Amino acid sequence: MQRDATMPLETSLSQMLSSSDFGNFFGISQEVQDLVWRNLTEKEGNSVAYISMEIGADPDVYSPLAKKLRDLQVTESSQSNIQGFLKKIFYGPGKIPNYSGGLGILAGDTLKSFADCHLPVVAVSLLYRHGYFSQIVDSQLGQLSQRVDWNPEDTPGLYLLRDPQQPEKPLHIEVPFLNEYDQETVATAQVWMKIEVSEALDFFIPELLLDFFLPETPALIRNAAKQLYDSESSMVKALQRRMLGTGILPVLQALGITSRTFHLNEQHGVVVAMQLIAEELYRTLKANDLACATNAQILTAASTVAQRIVYTIHTPVKAGHDRFDKSLYAGISHKSCQRILDLLARDDDNPHTYNFTNFAMQVNRSANSVSRLHRDVTHKQFPQFADKITAITNGVHHLTWISDARAAVFDTIPELQGWRQDPGVFKTVAQLKNNQEFRSALLDAWRKDTHILFDFVNTMLRQHRSQMTQTWIDPPNYYSSLIDHITKLNPDIFTIGFARRFSTYKRADLIFHDIDKLADIFVSNNWPVNFFFAGKAHPADEPGKTVIRLILGHQEELHKKSKGLANLIFIPNYDMAIAKMLVAGVHAWLNSPKRPLEASGTSGMKAAMNGVPNISIMDGWWAEGHHNGETGWKFGHEGNVSIENLSESREELLYKEDSNSFYNLLPSVLEDFYRDRTHSAFLDKGIMNLCRNIPIFNTHRMAAEYLKKYDLQLPAEIKTKMQSFAQLYSSDS
């Protein structure tokens, strides 16, 4: 889609139009449209369906199409159909609030890499009319959640699929359910498709989002579909899982997609395995009722289906594993399904519940954990499956998370040529460690990103100050009560970032455990410091919300005890755009979970991609990314992990031990930072992050490792490229 100089703009825009049986699309050529559908609908089923409860891929953070249009200096078109698409891209909402955190963003990053690598993959998820939730923060009350209303209709890259038989109507799929009166019913969904387009606009991954919020869908189900991880009741939770799991086969069938392999991103969609087992039984027994199937026949069918499933387990934390009361589940599924669950979803701890993790563990060809340490923990949690659980360490999509300023530097370095296509290119960057030109360009880019972040934060603080007088919300920043219209936080001051979901095991408040000790470090050396914190707690997670209140409560105390040297700022409503600004703009990225509960963690990888060093507990990815201190700092408890370490009770979260370890480390970090104006020790670590961590913690490499678990035939050229990515790292050693 390179525009040659002689080609009129309108012609090159027309080449971005394409259509299929399901509608008209903008951003990819007809050739690409046809290629993707040919791959997904071919007879042998040579493709993968990637199943996730959430997908995080906000267009305001990454949109190759918008970038292309800006490069072409397109702002409008005389063709009205194209003009409609352009309007959405330039003026539509930049956010798709269908994610809550790490799991969803990992899914989005993974799908972007699949697109860049031209892999035949389709994704299936749900569309939530009220998204996750929007966070308001009050200094006294803490987190308040507000419903998000968004219009999929206006969102760029999102299309409501049409019924090929009646193109004026949306495509509807029907999913069998039981209703609240135990009667058989169907839930109807329409299908939105997000086009996750490759960087070069020469491939895409269709993300099919099932939207059950329709008048014809029974109220119980319709209401359960509104909000991601709505935890009003375990019924709502079970219904959401069931909508995803049982929606998969009908939607693929309606689109003619033949995927043989299913990748479960966590066990949320595992109900699809139950359906595949039922289908297999119908096929082999030639029966229309499964009542006649014996247990042995069910187990045989399950082992056939297992060959089609790749499963990623994401957390050792209990709340991440779905368990449902058998009696509750009986209310939403048919008897034959219950027989399958009775055999395969046993819960060793409780005979009255189904354990969906156990189900997913049994029915797969490959079970993968998300880091090496997580693999070791998972082996201990599930000793009966230890033989088959391997590690595929998570990654992030480098093109999404590397800031514009850093990317502009990489573009000018001959040694880094091709970095957009191949993150392995960064392996050689250590050679440039003493190249003064490179160092100063990198430092300038870092400063640029820091200024962008500080402009954002200073504007926010001034808004908080006026909020104080204009609304009933007490602004979430003590600091904003101290400033006037000229005071600002200073970007030359050492700034630590921390942002993630507020769950108690993530211990956001760890470093404030002993504020006297912390403040003394600053006062006795006269070192000023900023702490920028952000993150949402699940609205039903009271302990998580308490941690947010604790953080807010520490703001004044820290400021006063440090004699104004240390300021702790909270940025409300964490999302991908804030994440990107933070990871690129701070001087160090902090992670302080209780080892080994983090499993992987990905925000630290985003910082590493920008050459920002981490200060972290040796948990999750950091145990692999720390490289004996070449890339950052470690603190806290290490040593072997055992089942006992998985406790999440407050007394066993090691606050005292790990915070002390942080206080012992911090002075040397600050000394490094303030030693010279060019922050050379930080820049050294930054360059080593580019060199050692970009080649490992990117989703191209991760996709290549997963590809080995899929059963796919690929053209030689793609195979060779994927092999080269796979060779960047071996997660499971």
Q: How is residue 114 written in tokens?
A: 């699949």
First to last CA, the chain: 41
* Closer by beta carbon to ligand PLP, 160 or else 407: 407
What residue type is 77 in one-letter code?
S
**Residue 59 or 102: which CB sits closer to ligand PLP?**
102
What length does the chain have? 733
Residue 442: closest CA among 426, 458, 457: 426
- For residue 405, state whether it binds ligand PLP (rule: CB under 6 A): no
> Tokens 């033989």 identify what position?
387
Binding pattern for the stretch 571-590 against ligand PLP, x by CB under 6 A and - elsewhere = ---xxx--x-----------
CA distance 187 to 229: 19
Which CB, 170 or 613, lies closer to ligand PLP? 613
Of 10-18, 89-97, 276-284, 600-608, the segment contacting ligand PLP by CB under 6 A is 600-608
DSSP 683-704: HHHHHHIIIIITTTSBHHHHHH
CB of 111 to ligand PLP, least distance (A): 15
β-bridge mates for residue 176, sequence order: 186
**Does residue 544 bind ligand PLP (CB under 6 A)?**
no
Is residue 682 at the binding interface for ligand PLP, with CB under 6 A as the rule? Answer: no
**Choices 151-159, 275-283, 548-556, 598-606 (CB under 6 A): range interacting with ligand PLP:** 598-606
Residues 6+ apart with CB under 8 A from 679: 443, 587, 672, 673
Which of residues 212 and 498 has its CB atom nearest to ligand PLP in the complex? 498
Site for ligand PLP (CB under 6 A): how many residues?
Answer: 14
353 DSSP β-pair partners = 325
Shortest spacing between CB 584 and ligand PLP, in angstroms: 12
Residue 380 burial (C-beta neighbours within 10 Å; 0-12, 13-18, 19+): middle
317-352 burial by CB neighbour count: b if 16+ within 10 A, else e?
Answer: beebbbbbebebbbbbbbebbbbbbeebbbbeeeee
In 588-658 the beta strands, taken as DSSP E runs, fall at 588-591, 614-617, 632-635
For position 699 contacting ligand PLP by CB under 6 A, the verdict is no
**Judged by CB under 6 A, which of 601, 625, 632, 686 binds ligand PLP?**
601
Q: Which of residues 484-503 bind ligand PLP (CB under 6 A)?
A: 500-501
Least spacing, CB of residue 69 vs ligand PLP, in Å: 25
| C-beta closer to ligand PLP: residue 45 or 102 | 102
135 belongs to the binding site for ligand PLP (CB under 6 A): no
Q: Are strands 172-178 and 184-197 parallel, antiparallel or unpaired?
A: antiparallel
What's the closest the beta carbon of residue 102 comes to ligand PLP, in angstroms?
3
Residues 75-114 that bind ligand PLP (CB under 6 A): 101-102, 105
- Written as six digits, the tokens of 221 are 């189900």
In the complex with ligand PLP, the residue whose CB is nearer, 127 or 581, is 581
Region class of 629: left (phi > 0), else alpha (psi between -120 and 50), else beta: left
In this structure, what DSSP letter does residue 431 have?
Answer: G
Interface with ligand PLP includes 596 (CB under 6 A)? no
Closest separation in Å from C-beta 74 to ligand PLP:
29
CB closer to ligand PLP, 572 vs 601: 601
Residues forming contacts to ligand PLP in the complex (CB under 6 A) are: 101-102, 105, 500-501, 574-576, 579, 601-604, 606
